[in-house]
Amino acid sequence: MATDSEDVFDYIIVGAGTSGCVLTERLSAAGHSVCTLEAGPRDTNPLIHIPAGYIKNIYSRTLTWNFQSEPGPGVNNRSFSLPQGRVLGGSSSINGLNYVRGQSVDYDNWAAAGNPGWSYQDVLPYFRRSERRLGNPDPKYRGTEGELPISDLDWHNPVSDALVAAAVAIGIPRNPDHNGATQEGVGFFQRTIHRGKRVSAARAFLSKAKRRPNVSIRTHAQCTSIVIENGVARGVRYIQGGPGGTSRTVRARREVLLTAGALNTPKLLQLSGLGPADVLRAAGIEVLRDIQGVGANLRDHYAVRMVSRIHGAPTINAKVQGPALAVQVARWLVGLPSPLAISPSLVHIFTRSDPSLDRPDLEFACAPASFREGVVGLLDKHPGLTLGVWQERPESLGHVRVKSSDVFQAPSIQPNYLTDERDQKALLGGMRIARKLFRAPPLARYVEAETSPKPELEGDDELLAFAREKGTTVYHMIGTARMGPRDRPDSVVDHELRFHGIENLRVCDASIMPSMPSANTNASTLMIAEKAADMILGRQASP
């Protein structure tokens, strides 16, 4: 393996995903030299930029980390593919494009857990900073001058409209802005789509930064360890070009910033000797700091998809198969509304699994489409409707642990889905609400048959068994470098995202979330990066 000389920058950013792209832009715009390392390629694949390309990209061998979970005790010992973006833009280049911030109390709870500065009022300016909300937004909650356009759905289907009417019919209020004053209700998802194309973090933020002379973006750069000298992070070692490639070291005058995501960030920390001592010793890694929280507190959304066969209206199934697909391609090419330019889920429902709860605990992500055997990307030949539902704030906890000192070996990932009874109870409530939606008069006129699960499955035990056997990940991993006070055993970083016990090292991605926000996680990760940039630069956001 060849070795190259060292370069020096003010900041080294490990991972050019959602948070890495934002930080590269903000720090370089302030005049600092920045080296951003990305293990994957540049975002030149055209399927990245076509929203419908999601169903192909999520299985890509070149654009994702092809992680696999360990068999789970709560899901009949099944394991799951856990794709994470491995390309400029990270998961923002392959995700489902929906923009959801979560409920204000989520962030108030972060602050109450010993993280001053993270209440909803503290973080709202950072949500607003990054977004360019299209339309006529409420300026109290929404931003209009940021780099990331947030658009409304422009392609409608009668079945989607009937689903919204069905939700209202069973008592769920209509909500025109789930990212505004309140989340609860039904409506259409807002998306990171503009003029028919995906707008990833790379397209929104990195495209500006990469033109600056003080920025170096290095792709196919697999980080192997953090350079730590006398308790101070001084740089990063990486291999350029995969196994057998050139070994390089890049050094930081100021800080090393980890933005590799909730699976790769704890992996890199553990490879660097920072993590649970027993895990490191078992992997043959010298223990530099015994920090139990590194790789712990893993959380993910676990969804069940409820499916019905539809009649009386065409759904996406009919629009994008056979000769009809050519029509939709032509519409997309000339800028007309098309199912090629929508997110995989169109209708959102945020509601309560139990009316006695004080706030919503369920998210529904719904689409006028259905998939054979539940496999995303393999559409049924007949019209269908899918209602996906999950517990918004899962309590089941998992972990990420390295297996060896080989950087190219995937870690052990155990999400422990459905091992907490609270998650089971909430999911059962969501499945029963889905049944009510299918049977509500505005939607029932289109429902020919409930196909999955079968209507005869009615009891709690039967429905929970179905959830264990057929449910799946929503790809929202968080929490493996938890933010919290130093005296809390599972904390990894403080409220300014500084690593406990190592100077000049911060974690600035979804790993730091103490608990799951009631949301798809991309918007929260953007906020974390914006706030991290201000803390690094010694600035404060305007209220």
pLDDT digits (tens, 9 = 90+) for 251-272: 999 999 999 999 999 999 999 9
Is 125 a residue whose pLDDT tops 70?
A: yes
For position 6, what pLDDT does the model report?
Answer: 74
Burial of 21 (0-12, 13-18, 19+ CB in 10 A): buried
* Mean pLDDT of the 515-541 span: 96
Cα–Cα dist 469/467, whole Å? 5
**18 three-class SS:** helix
Is 445 a residue whose pLDDT tops 60?
A: yes
> Both tokens of residue 498?
């500084």
* Mean pLDDT of the 457-470 span: 96
CATH among 3.50.50.60, 3.30.70.260, 1.20.5.510, 3.60.15.10 for 1-49+84-141+207-297+477-543: 3.50.50.60
Is 309 a residue whose pLDDT tops 70?
A: yes
Q: What is the sign of the dihedral through the CA atoms of 319, 100, 441 and 456?
A: positive
> Quick check: 99 and 190 in contact, CB under 8 A?
yes
Residue 220 known to be catalytic: no
* Residues whose CB is less than 8 angstroms from the CB of residue 284 and which lie 6 or more positions away in sequence, other chains included: 404, 405
Is residue 114 left, alpha or beta, with left meaning phi > 0 and alpha meaning psi from -120 to 50? left
What confidence tier does 540 reach under pLDDT thresholds 50, 70, 90? Answer: confident
Q: What is the sign of the dihedral through the CA atoms of 14, 16, 17 and 18?
A: positive
* Mean pLDDT of the 45-71 span: 93
- The pLDDT mean for the chain works out to 95
Burial of 457 (0-12, 13-18, 19+ CB in 10 A): middle
- Measure Cα distances from 243 to 2, 86, 484 in Å: 11, 16, 36
For position 379, what pLDDT does the model report?
Answer: 82
Is 218 a residue whose pLDDT tops 70?
A: yes
CB atoms within 10 A of CB 465: 14
**307 three-class SS:** strand
* Mean pLDDT of the 106-129 span: 98
For position 1, what pLDDT does the model report?
Answer: 42
For position 242, what pLDDT does the model report?
Answer: 81
* End-to-end Cα spacing for the chain: 52
Catalytic residue among 348, 476, 495, 500: 476
For position 2, what pLDDT does the model report?
Answer: 44
Hey, which residues does 387 pair with through a beta bridge?
Answer: 306, 366
How is the chain split into domains, by residue range? 1-49+84-141+207-297+477-543, 154-188+301-398+409-474
Cα–Cα dist 500/149, whole Å? 36
Question: Beta strands of 138-286 (E only): which ranges?
Answer: 148-150, 185-188, 193-194, 197-198, 215-218, 221-229, 232-240, 246-258, 274-275
For position 373, what pLDDT does the model report?
Answer: 61
Is 374 a residue whose pLDDT tops 80?
A: no
Domain 154-188+301-398+409-474 has CATH 3.30.410.40: yes
* Mean pLDDT of the 309-325 span: 90
Cα–Cα dist 301/467, whole Å? 13
Single-letter residue type at 303: A
Question: Beta strands of 241-359 (E only): which ranges?
Answer: 246-258, 274-275, 289-290, 302-310, 347-351
* Mean pLDDT of the 54-66 span: 91
* Mean pLDDT of the 94-115 span: 97
Is 201 a residue whose pLDDT tops 60?
A: yes
